[in-house]
Structure formats: structure tokens, C-alpha cells
Amino acid sequence: MIRLLKFFGWSIVAVFCGLLLGLSGAYLYLSPGLPSVEALRSIQLQIPLRVYSSDNKLIAEFGEMRRTPIRFADIPPNFINALLSAEDDNFANHYGVDPSSLMRAATQLVKSGHIQSGGSTITMQVAKNFFLTSERSFSRKTTEILLALQIERQLTKDEILELYVNKIYLGNRAYGIEAAAQVYYGKSIRDVSLAQMAMIAGLPKAPSRFNPLANPARSKERRDWILGRMYKLGKITEADYTAAINEPLNASYHVPTPEVNAPYIAEMARAEMVGRYGSDAYTEGFRVTTTVPSDLQELANTAVHEGLMTYDQRHGYRGPESRLPGKTREAWVTELTKQRTISGLEPAIVTQVDKSGLQVLTRTGQEHVNWDTMKWARPFLNTNSMGANPKQPSDVAQVGDLIRVQRQPDNSLKFSQIPLAQGALVSLDPQNGAIRALVGGFAFEQSNYNRALQAKRQPGSSFKPFVYAAALDNGYTASSLVNDAPIVFVDEYLDKVWRPKNDTNTFLGPIRLREALYKSRNLVSIRLLQAMGVGKTIDYIARFGFNKQDLPPNLSLALGTATLTPMEIATGWSTFANGGYKITPYIIDRIESRNGDTLFVANPPSVPQGGAASDGIAAPAPQAFTVNATPGEVPGAAAPTPQAPAVAERIVDGRTTYILNSMLEDVIKLGTGRRALALGRPDIAGKTGTTNESKDAWFSGYNADYVTTVWTGFDQPESLGRKEFGGTVALPIWMNYMGAALKGKPPHTQPEPEGLLSLRVDPVSGRAASPGTPGAYFELFKAEDTPPSGNELGNGNAPGSPLPADEAAPIDLF
């Protein structure tokens, strides 16, 4: 018996020595190729790109992995206890390898003939997750053990746990415990309950098998087992255990919740970041702060949404999106799951029609639509006509109709439909080009086509101020007379005749430029362009930032037949708002690294302080400093060197823009923008624009704080309707936005530059008024352009004098 015991004893010693020798040999063989554990201290986990508003509200998150790293000190103790109870209850005592766990895994291997579990500690899992593949082999396991021993020697237990909880995959694109808490419960790991912590702690073993969304029963079983382990190990009380296992699973999928609805802004920032950093933009944890304040963006969203809805309902109801009569409730529920909510318009299926309205099935259940919200729904016949007013709900909808409803603040439903017309809004800071709000369409869910940047459309009369600016810089004055009379152009080669006309088909004869602008007289604009020369005028207008190839080289340019985007129009109009300076729109104000280091700060060319007031007379453009906005900043690079403020280039005489500004203010007071008088502001100026057949409707306007352009129309150009113009479709959107954006702000007008005079003018001749001239009024002039009095002016062809009788002589238009 003693001899047998000695045999077993020496056998154990021999096995131990063999294992020790084998491990030593493996270490000597593998150690030269082992990665440096020290690299774990500076490891860079993949973190998504996050885009924020200027007031630090989340706009969007981009990246395949959802991860929010968390410090060990911020991890709740109950979660650590839950995790260790599930994964490694001997973590505090072992040195990276738990022999008992390895022996248990070896026993399972002998019994089953294949690997069932690896006996891995959390430290070994860190080694595998950061340095190794998921291959199941003895060589990989040996390497894992050796790395774990090294990790334990060089890192503290807290550091190991922090690495582990931030790296592990926990299902549904969630990497790390903070992301998992956000995905499954919509809150931080610090705010979840004990039961919810146990559920998350159960995921590392098998994120798919124990997923609470895909396999709730297995997930609950795993959660309750972990809670039982915690109670058995003395980590929680019996009362805690009982309460936790009785808590419902209540997990649901939570997408990253933007605090600001600005998808077009987010996409612009994403595209710029990819241009700078390539694919690293999605993984390096960049924090991008945009120039867009959340309040202005939400105001823009509301203005465009309400404006397009109002226009759409003005033209009637086009009927249900589809009809599903005779279907079962289950079939209706299935159909609703296929439909998306579009810009707040929810899908609903009519289940009952009565005198009070509709009973509808929505994703939240059975709800009611009141008849009062349906009375607008006259049948759409065509763009210019509708059927009779509905007298009862059954005139509008039938059982089985798939319709759209809009949820009101009191949770009631309003009968609605998705507009077919589209719109865009751009609002800039004219002092430096910062984008303050941008909407690229009715709904990003329908299409990510950004009409504010990509839709090149004819701006119509909203382009005329550029022609008038050229005139004011070429000897014309606001009181110059130009003949508003019929004119005919003949192309002898193509045998074509062009007879431009005013939208009212009336003619006013000789008219002052100021009046011609606020009355939007087409023939005056054409005569101005003809007198100045098309080529010369295009050269002048191009300085506002337009590409010459977008400006037609013929007289139709005066009517706004160029093809330009809302952003280009707003950029050009900024020069009117800031006193004559060229600005460049920009969206990214700051870029920070994952560690909070500043990588980029915008330094846009800006209007000099007091520049509009002090240097009204055109001067050589000041040299602008180069903005450090080129691609190629390296993640983790040193903060950019502070730069001297870049100075915007003066492109127009400040006196010209001041006079033009006063003329555009008259568009609001006396012309096509009169509706904007309802805002009660003395500092706004603007111009409507409507193209042929009302295919495009525009309004551009500003004060010294914001310049805002609104476009409305169809993606495939067609008429908005005979009675629809810039003043009826686009202007209400502009007013809705600007009225709210400027609410509470004091009037902000351009300071008057030097070199201007205010003189009394004869309203009939546009000349300096003699004493006692009836109806004389004060007009602004450049000092060198003051008009002569009536008895000083001869019959020459000075700018603004009546044109000669042969002014309608044919010219080559094309």
C-alpha cells in the first residue's frame, strides 16, 4: 500500500514537472513572438464619429461599432460583482490563470473528445480579445496563458477589468458595457437596475444565445443564474435577489438618440471628416462640433415642414397610399411594420368610418382621427383645381385605406399626407459664413439628396439684385430712370423671336431703379444688362462666388435663368448683408480627438470689425490668411498653432451694398415681400423669385445677423400652380424661420459707410428736386454720382436717362 502511494505521489510530481518543463519550453519558444503587453496601456479602441451642434447637443453618430469607453472608477460595484460572478469569481486571487478552471476544461476535453470550454479567466480573455484570434487550438491557448501571465505582472486588476468591459462584444453592434446599457435600456450603465446589470453581465459568454431581444427566455435564465451566484457568493442580500429575479426583462432596442434633428448637417459633417481622415473617421472617436445652434436648426425644420404641408394641403388630397380592404387585423399589423414614419407622419390603416371621424390602426394600437382635421381634404384633380369640399368622413377615406396621420402635442391625431413638393432652407452668418441652419428636403428618410447643396435651379427674380449691384457700381443710381416698355429680340440665324414681358403683362414706362426692383420689372433688368454688356456683367457677378459656366451668356440672365443652388444664392446674398465682403460657408467649427485634444479650429475669412462702416469706398482686397482646413490632420497630432484671424475679401463697394440694402428693404415695405411686414422688424430686406410656370419659388432675405434663402419646387420640375409664387410658398417659410430666429433680438442694420449723400429727388424725372417740387423724396447717392437738377441735364444718354427710340433693335440673343 505504501509502495502504491509513493508511486502515485511520484507520478503527480512527474506530471507537474513535465507541465512545468513544457510550459517553460513553450515560453522560451513562443516568447520572442509574443506582442508587447505594454501596448495595452495606449490601446486605441474603435470609437464612432460623433457630430454635435454648436451648443453641444448630439446630432449623429457614425461607425459600425457602438462604443462609449468608461473608466473603472465609473463602473458600478454591483456590475463588477455580477460580471465576476458570471465570468471569473476567483479573479481577485489568481495571477492570470486559474489552474482549477483549466483542469475542469481538460477533464471535459477527455470525456467528450473535443474542446467544450477554455477555462479562460478575464485576464486570458483580455489577451485573446486584444492580441489573438478566436481559433481553438493548443498553441493559441498556450500563447493566451503566457500573455495572461505577462498582463497580470504589468497591469493592475482594475486596469485589466477596464480593458475588458470596454472591449467585449455584447450583441446588436454594442461593444463595451456602456454601449450595451444604451442599446438595451437607453441609459448609462450607472443608471440601470441590478437585474439589468446581471443581464448585461451574462452576455459575454454568448451574445447571440443570451440576447434579450432575440432570446428573452434564455436571457432571463442566464440573468437569474448570475443573480443566484451573486447571492451565493454574498454579493447581494436575499431581498435584493428576490426583487431582481422578479423584475421583468424589459429590454428593447435603442438607437442612438439625436438631441437635434439635423440629418443633412450630419451628412455634410460626415463627408467632410471622411475627406480629411478617410476610414479612420469612423473609428478614431472624433468629436465634431458644427456651427449649427440646435434652436435655429429646429426652427428651420419646423418652418420647412409646416410650409410644405400648408402648400400641399392647399392643393387637395391625393387619396390613400394604398387600399387594403378585406384584410385581417393581423395582415394590417404586418403591413404597418413595412411602413416608415416620414418626417413625423405616421402610417395608419382605417378600420372604421363614422360621423365623428376615423378609427385607425397605428403601431401603438387603435386610435381616433377627428373629422375636424379632415375638412381640408378636397379631392386633388390637378395642380390648379380640386373637387368639392368633403361633407363627411366617408367622402375622404374608406376602411382599409393606408393613410398618414400627424401626432399633435396632446397625442391626438391629425389627418395628413406626405407632400410631393420639396423645399430647402439655408441660413448663414453673413459675417463669417458659418452655417446656422440647413434643411435639404422634407424628409431625410425619403432621400438623402441635399437640395440645399445639390439642386441647381433657376432663381428667377431673386437673382436680380446681383444685376442691380452691377448697375450701381457702373454709374447708375437708385433714382436712375430705365424704360419699362416692350422690347423684342430676334435671332436672325435661328429665326426666333424673344419677347420678354413682366409677370403682370403690363408696362410702366420710364421708372426709377428703386421702384423697378421692388416691383420686380423684368424689362428694366434686361435693359440694364443690355446697357452694361453681358460679358462685363458676368465678370462682375462671378465675384460673388458663382461659376461662370452656370451663368447663361445672354440677356435671359437678367431674369434669373442661371442654374444655382440655394447655398450659392445665400452665399452671394451674404455680401449684401455684410457690407460688401465675400464669405465662404463652412460647417465644422472644431474637431477634437477621443482624449479631448483639439485637432482643428476653423478660422474662416471674416468681415473686419467695423469694416462695413469705415471703408465703404472700394479698395484693394486685403490679403486673407489661409484657413487650416485641408485634409490630412493625423489623429493624436498636436493641437493646431493659433492663427491670426483671417480677413474676408472686399468684393463690392460698401456704399453700393448700403444703397442696394435700402432698395431691398423697400421690397419688404412696398413690393412682393410685403407679407414680411407682419414680422414688425425694420431691419429686414429681401426679394422673391418665381420662374416660368411657377416651377421654382424662392425667397432670399436677411438682416445683419442672418441671411436666409428658401427654395420650393418639385424634384422633377413642374408647376407649383398658377397662383403659387415666391411670395406665397417660399416667403411664409422664410418668415416662420426668421421671425422666430430674430425674436427678442434688437434691430441690427448695416452702419452707413462714408461717402454717401441723401438728396431730395423729383419722383418723375429722378433728378435732383428743385425747391417746391411736389412729391419730392430723399434718395441715397454716392458722393460722385449725385444727379443733376432738371435744368442741368441735357438730352444725352447718361445712365438712367430714357433710352433712345431704336432701343428695340434686334440683337443676337443666343
> What CATH number is attached to the domain comprising 372?
2.40.50.140
In the chain, the amino acid numbered 644 is A
Query: What is the rounded CA–CA span in Å between residue 360 and residue 413?
Result: 10
Separation in Å, CA 410 to CA 2, 406, 407? 89, 11, 8
Q: What are phi and psi of 302, to 5 degrees?
A: -65, -45
Are 710 and 429 spatial neighbours (Cβ–Cβ below 8 Å)?
no
Give the model's pLDDT for residue 6: 58
Owner of C-alpha cell 424661420: 737
- What phi and psi, each to the nearest 5 degrees, are found at residue 14? -65, -45
Domain contains 258:
no
Based on the fold, state whether residues 326 and 228 are members of the same structural domain.
no
Q: The domain containing residue 122 runs over which residues?
A: 67-245
Give residue 612's pLDDT: 44
764 — pLDDT class (breaks 50, 70, 90): confident
197 and 336 belong to one structural domain? no
pLDDT for position 92: 86
The residues near 14 (Cβ < 8 Å, ≥ 6 apart) are none
- CATH number, residue 114: 1.10.3810.10
Percent of the chain with pLDDT over 90: 68
Which residue, of 216, 245, 274, is where some domain finishes?
245
As annotated, the active-site residues are 87, 461
Strand partners, 685: 702
CB-based contact 710:424 (threshold 8 Å): yes
- Residue whose C-alpha is closest to residue 269's, from 287, 295, 293, 294: 287
pLDDT above 70 covers a percentage of the chain that reads 84
| 362 shares a domain with 235 | no
Is the distance from CB of 282 to CB of 48 less than 8 angstroms?
yes
Could you give the CA distance from residue 456 to residue 451 in angstroms, rounded to a whole number? Answer: 8
Residue range 522-578, pLDDT digits in tens: 999 999 999 999 999 999 999 999 999 999 999 999 999 999 999 999 999 999 999
pLDDT at 291: 98
Domain count for the chain: 2
Type of residue at 420: L
- For 369, counting Cβ atoms within 10 Å of its Cβ (0-12 exposed, 13-18 middle, 19+ buried), the class is buried
Q: Which three cell numbers stand for residue 273?
A: 471628416
Check residue 65 and give its pLDDT. 86
- State the pLDDT at residue 620: 37
Query: Both 224 and 352 in a single domain?
Result: no
| CA neighbor of 633 nearest in space, from 272, 269, 291 | 272
Residue ranges of alpha helices (H) inside 619-706 are 654-670
User: Is 90 within a domain?
Assistant: yes
Domain end: 189, 218, 245, which one? Answer: 245
Q: CB of 345 within 8 A of CB of 420?
A: no
pLDDT digits (tens, 9 = 90+) for 69-87: 999 999 999 999 999 999 8
Claim to verify: residue 197 and residue 326 sit in the same structural domain: no
Residue 760 · residue 776 · CB < 8 Å: yes
Question: Given a cut of 50, is residue 799 above it in pLDDT?
Answer: no
Residue 126 and residue 241 in one domain: yes
Q: Please, are residues 652 and 747 in contact by the beta-carbon 8 Å criterion?
A: no
All three cell numbers of 748, joined, read: 441690427
What is the length of the chain?
814
| Domain shared by 77 and 215, yes or no | yes
Cell triple for 250: 424589459
pLDDT tens readout for residues 272-326: 999 999 999 999 999 999 999 999 999 999 999 999 999 999 999 999 999 998 8
The whole-angstrom separation of Cα 434 and Cα 92 is 54
| pLDDT band at residue 673 under the 50/70/90 scheme | very high
366 DSSP β-pair partners: 361
Query: What cell numbers appear for 395 in the block?
Result: 367622402
Cell 387594403 maps to which residue?
A: 324
Cell numbers linked to 54: 454648436
Q: Do both 219 and 118 map to the same domain?
A: yes
Q: Is the pLDDT of residue 807 over 50?
A: no
Residue 30 three-state SS: helix
pTM score, two decimals?
A: 0.84
State the pLDDT at residue 623.
Answer: 33
The type of residue at 440 is G
Band of residue 702 on the pLDDT scale cut at 50, 70, 90? very high
Q: pLDDT-based confidence at 616, cuts 50/70/90?
A: very low
- For helices 566-578 and 464-472, what crossing angle results, to 10°? 30
CA 700 distance to own-chain centroid: 21
Q: Quick one: 140 and 232 in the same domain?
A: yes
Residue 627: is its pLDDT beyond 80? no
Which among 100-109, 450-459, 503-512 has the top mean pLDDT? 450-459
Does some domain include residue 154? Answer: yes
166: cell is 470596454
Tell whether 333 and 236 lie within a shared domain: no
Mean pLDDT across 204-233: 94
Contact (Cβ atoms closer than 8 angstroms) between residue 441 and residue 449 = yes
Final residue in a domain of this structure, among 210, 245, 280: 245
CA distances from 627 to 186, 575, 605, 644 (A): 40, 20, 8, 10
Distance in angstroms (rounded) separating the CA atoms of residues 527 and 594: 59
Q: Tell whether 104 is covered by a domain.
A: yes
Residue-wise over 170-192: b if at least 16 C-beta within 10 A, else e? Answer: bbbebbbbbbbbbbbbbeebeeb
Q: What pLDDT score was predicted for residue 475?
A: 93
Does the residue 5 lie in any domain?
Answer: no
Report which of residues 679 and 14 the model is more confident about: 679
Q: Which three cell numbers stand for residue 510?
A: 420710364
The radius of gyration of the chain from alpha carbons, rounded to an integer in Å, stands at 36
Closest CA to 84 of 251, 153, 145, 93: 93
Q: Is residue 752 part of a domain?
A: no
Q: What is the pLDDT of residue 268?
A: 97
- Whether residue 105 is contained in a domain is answered as yes
Q: Which three cell numbers stand for residue 276?
A: 480629411
CA–CA separation, 652 and 576 (whole Å) = 9
Give the whole-angstrom CA distance, residue 108 versus residue 673. Answer: 83
Distance CA 333, CA 238 (A): 43
Determine how β-strand 707-713 pairs with β-strand 435-439. unpaired
Beta bridge partner(s), residue 686: 701
Judge whether residue 366 has pLDDT over 80: yes
Burial class (CB in 10 A: 0-12, 13-18, 19+), 323: middle
3-state secondary structure of 1: coil
Look at residue 783 and tell me if it is in a domain: no
- The span from the CA of 244 to the CA of 358, in Å, is 44
Say if residue 329 is in the same domain as residue 203.
no
Helix (H) or strand (E) holding 161: helix 157-167
Position 797 scores a pLDDT of 39
Helices (H), 246-372: 263-277, 294-314, 329-338
Question: pLDDT-derived band of residue 489, with 50, 70 and 90 as boundaries?
Answer: confident
pLDDT (average), residues 566-593: 98
Pairing of strands 49-52, 287-290: parallel
Q: Quick check: 345 pLDDT over 90? A: yes
Q: Give Cα separations from 463 to 55, 574, 727 (angstroms).
A: 34, 13, 15
| Cα–Cα dist 139/629, whole Å | 49
- Residue 71: all three cell numbers together: 473608466
Query: What is the reported pLDDT for 51?
Result: 98
